[in-house]
Amino acid sequence: MGEVQEDGLVAPRRLFNPPARAAGEAPIIVVSGESSEAAKVKALGIGADDYLVKPFGRAELLARIAAVMRRSGRAEAANLGGPVTFDRLSLDPARHEASVDGVLVPLTPTEFRLLEVLTRAGGDLVPHLRLARAGWPAEPDPDLLWLKPHLARLRAKLDEAGGPAIVAVRGVGYRVEAASVR
């Protein structure tokens, strides 16, 4: 029996089928040495979110990952953002540090991820599912009930430090509110 020749898109074809993509699978970037327009069109046509031709630099890869994550609503999972501030709160993801008026606030990794998403939203509402996906990026379907105890502890820590409040919008999500607004 003869051996069947397959191209490198056999596995992605299985991943890109519409039911799997509709189920909320992670975005997919095809990395290939093939630079022809036909190869790019083929990969994008079967469901790839982006196509990157080798060789490429680290900065370009990180920028493409960030762009794909933004488009998919999972920017938080990429954790590619730089420092961010809101009111008197400052976050530095590279150092995993949160501070209010320069005083460090000790946070667990999950609390830090939740606070980062809320802070980057700048006071805008963050829906429950988006927040849960940011808090538990390795979970394909995080339980929304996990949010409440983590946010309660995070609220207490921020309140003690004099930072912004985390405000619940019942049935919708959460947002941060400047301490001066309270």
Average pLDDT for the chain: 82
User: Average pLDDT, stretch 87-99?
Assistant: 91
CA 27 to CA 47: how far, in whole Å? Answer: 9
pLDDT for the residue numbered 50: 86
The CATH code of the domain that includes 177 is 1.10.10.10
Q: With 50 as the cut, is the pLDDT of residue 139 above it? A: yes
Q: With 90 as the cut, is the pLDDT of residue 169 above it? A: yes
Whether 3 maps to a domain, the answer reads no
Q: With 80 as the cut, is the pLDDT of residue 137 above it? A: yes
Whether 107 maps to a domain, the answer reads yes
Chain-centre distance of CA 67, in angstroms?
A: 11
The CATH code of the domain that includes 31 is 3.40.50.2300
User: Average pLDDT, stretch 53-74?
Assistant: 79
Q: Which of 7, 4, 92 is nearest to 46 (CA)?
A: 7
Whether 139 maps to a domain, the answer reads yes
Same domain, 143 and 177: yes
Q: What is the number of domains present in the chain?
A: 2
User: Average pLDDT, stretch 53-82?
Assistant: 72
Residue of 85 and 64 predicted with greater confidence: 85
Same domain, 62 and 137: no
CA 138 to CA 157: how far, in whole Å? Answer: 25
User: Strand 84-86 and strand 89-92: pairing?
Assistant: antiparallel
Same domain, 154 and 114: yes
Same domain, 66 and 95: no
Same domain, 96 and 33: no
Whether 59 maps to a domain, the answer reads yes
CA 46 to CA 123: how far, in whole Å? Answer: 38
Beta-carbon contacts of 79 under 8 Å, excluding residues fewer than 6 positions away, are: 93, 113, 116, 137
Q: Write out the residue range of the structural domain in which residue 105 sits.
A: 84-181
Question: Are the CB atoms for 158 and 89 separated by under 8 Å?
Answer: yes
pLDDT for the residue numbered 24: 52
User: Average pLDDT, stretch 46-64?
Assistant: 85
78: confidence class by pLDDT, cuts 50, 70, 90: very low
CA 151 to CA 169: how far, in whole Å? Answer: 13
Q: With 50 as the cut, is the pLDDT of residue 138 above it? A: yes
pLDDT for the residue numbered 11: 58
Whether 167 maps to a domain, the answer reads yes
CA 104 to CA 102: how far, in whole Å? Answer: 6
pLDDT for the residue numbered 163: 92
Same domain, 158 and 125: yes
Residue of 64 and 150 predicted with greater confidence: 150
User: Average pLDDT, stretch 107-122?
Assistant: 93
The reported pTM is 0.59
Whether 164 maps to a domain, the answer reads yes
